[in-house]
Amino acid sequence: MKSTFRPRLLNGQTGDPALLLNLRWQGRALLVDLGRIDRTPAPVLLPIEAVFVSHTHMDHFMGFDQLLRIFLARDTTLRLYGPAGLADCVEGKLAGYTWNLTDEYAFTIEVTDIGERQTTGWRFAARRRFAREMVGPPRPFTGVVVADPVFTVEAAPLDHRIVSMAYAVTERTHLNVRTDVLAASGLRPGRWLNVLKDAVRAGAPPDTPIEVTPEDRRPLAALRDELLVVTPGQKVAYVVDTLFSPGNVAKVTRLAAGADVLFCEAPFLEEDLEQATRRYHLTAAQAGALARAAGVRRLQVFHFSPRYEGRYGEIIAEAQAEFAGQEPRYGGLERGRAALP
């Protein structure tokens, strides 16, 4: 399957968490977590329209300044989502600079604090020297934080002694063009293909006219049936900095269920289980067990502790072995009856 999201860890498996999701063909991108990103070229970061922050420990949030610097003179809105208190952290960051020359700037930051039962929106506009303003009344939180025509983003608050938010980004419907049929039909590829896809995704009526050229309008259904392959959307799940507790396991397996890929932290080896638990982090085996229980297709572990430098291969091997169910340490998790610490 051709993937719409092209997920990429900007700092690999060992650097700060920052997962870039490029939306193929759309010129749009999402970022999950905001660790240091100063080695990523600006053109890679500019398509980002929303950032989903797990929590504001430094290694997950220090990239904020870099993103701000790149976006400041742009006529755009950058949206940030994260656990309740994120807006306080953004406000604190912004208070660290002087904003007397930004009155003409159109750049705006919108922050959504995801609380237990409701989300609260805040706006920080450059032209108002980033003074904090509330955006409308709080809204009930039901698990979905973004419902875009192309994708949805769900969030689940996990226990890391503070909230560490896990996310799942799911493409609504995956639409591929049959390029061979298109070529044979003599129609020229163009923007109309995106118009067609958008209309199909939005559930537009079958007779909706699609303008292939100014002189050539055809009904949506005919073009869809001839040119598009419609398959279920791709799903990317993201879990970092969390304790392996019954509550967290239940939330992760629900959120990540059936994901095409789960990006999961694995900072510790199982041999250091005690330390992992004390620090509210997962071991590699626990990451593998979560992936298996959630029935994901692929597990990508990252956020390795530098203490294992030279042994990163062991972390990956431990996680993948548990994921594959080879002599599982956390057997039965998928049926909800594992022995949990």
Q: Which residues bind Zn ion (CB under 5 A)?
A: 57, 59, 241
273-282 long-range contacts, CB within 8 A, separation 24+: 273/341, 276/244, 277/243, 277/244, 277/341, 280/159, 280/160, 280/161, 280/241, 280/242, 280/243, 281/160, 281/241, 281/242, 281/243, 282/239, 282/242, 282/243, 282/244
Q: What does the alpha-carbon distance between residue 130 and residue 104 come to, in Å, rounded to a whole number?
A: 12
Provide, rounded to whole angstroms, the least separation between the CB of residue 159 and Zn ion.
11
Provide, rounded to whole angstroms, the least separation between the CB of residue 53 and Zn ion.
11
Which of 51, 39, 128 shows the shortest CA–CA distance to 89? 51
By beta-carbon proximity to Zn ion, the closer residue of 130 and 263 is 263
By beta-carbon proximity to Zn ion, the closer residue of 59 and 171 is 59
Provide, rounded to whole angstroms, the least separation between the CB of residue 199 and Zn ion.
42
Provide, rounded to whole angstroms, the least separation between the CB of residue 137 and Zn ion.
31
Provide, rounded to whole angstroms, the least separation between the CB of residue 57 and Zn ion.
4
Q: What does the alpha-carbon distance between residue 323 and residue 287 come to, in Å, rounded to a whole number?
A: 8
By beta-carbon proximity to Zn ion, the closer residue of 139 and 161 is 161
By beta-carbon proximity to Zn ion, the closer residue of 67 and 163 is 163
Do residues 246 and 330 lie in contact, with contact meaning Cβ atoms separated by under 8 Å? no
Provide, rounded to whole angstroms, the least separation between the CB of residue 35 and Zn ion.
8
By beta-carbon proximity to Zn ion, the closer residue of 171 and 241 is 241
By beta-carbon proximity to Zn ion, the closer residue of 59 and 272 is 59
Identify the bridge partners of residue 261 per DSSP, sorted by sequence position: 236
Burial class of residue 16 in the structure, from the number of CB atoms within 10 Å of its CB (0-12 exposed, 13-18 middle, 19+ buried): buried
| Count of all residues that appear for the chain in the document | 341
